[in-house]
Amino acid sequence: LALAQPLTVAVVDTGANVRAPVLAAKHPSTYDVRTRGRGVADLNGHGTQVASIIARDSGAARLLVIRAGSSSGAFTDVNEAAGIRYAVDHGAGIVNLSLGGPRTSAVERAAIRYAVAHGVLVVAAAGDDYANRPEYPAALLGTGGLAVAAIAGNGSRALFSNTGPWVSIAAPGSEGTSFAAPRVAAAAARVWQMNPRLTARQVVRILELTASGNGTRNDELGFGVVDVGRALHAARP
């Protein structure tokens, strides 16, 4: 499926302070999966940070803020899945999931399949408890999305960043993979705006093949550190 215009990036998280200047400038759409209302006040702060990175770096993309997490930052698989499905059903081209845990469920797997089947690019944080074991939903994405590791200021893997054969790509995130993921989601948004004829899988491949690994991958950083400039050049129609 080619991209619907204009591109919308959905952030499924703890909500966001949509009055923050960088977010207010985007006039984001909002939804709370638990109340089914429009209020998405962020009592945690996590979602505001994640959404702000995307708002700042995603070019002219629209923003959809979906509150699925509690004020403590906890997410149930049911609410996460509801957030993903709402994003897909309301036209999101990209869904950012800066959340995860060591177990998955049928409801989570079904929501990821639903997104990928509808041509949506899912970006998920690889996780912050360094271990060579899967983190979900990141480990569910395969070629239909991007599981994002974090690099520290010196360019090497951040010590906490999870590793494994399911890691796709890396981005700066010395404060956590939660904040590396939206940098990749924003990069994907810019690539897709450069060439709206691309499919989600084509955007994934462009980002992977133009990353610092030059087409080779490893379990620490996937295909390497995202390179927006190279990706945009490769995406030109």
| pLDDT range class, residue 5, cuts 50, 70, 90 | low
Helices (H), the chain: 21-24, 46-57, 77-89, 106-117, 177-194, 200-209, 228-235
pLDDT of residue 36 exceeding 80: yes
> Rounded to an integer, what distance in angstroms lies between the CA atom of residue 61 and that of residue 28?
10
pLDDT (average), residues 172-182 = 96
pLDDT of 93 reads 97
> Rounded to an integer, what distance in angstroms lies between the CA atom of residue 95 and that of residue 82?
12
pLDDT of 235 reads 96
pLDDT of residue 124 exceeding 60: yes
AA identity, residue 189 = A
Say whether 217 sits in a helix, a strand or coil. coil
- Reduced to 3 DSSP states, what percent helix, strand and coil does the chain have, rounded to the nearest 5? 35, 20, 45
pLDDT of residue 153 exceeding 70: yes
For the stretch 42-77, what's the b/e string if a residue is b when 16 or more beta carbons lie within 10 angstroms of its beta carbon? bebebbbbbbbbbbebbeebbbbbbbbbeeeeebbb
With 0-12 CB in 10 A as exposed, 13-18 as middle and 19+ as buried, what is 153? exposed
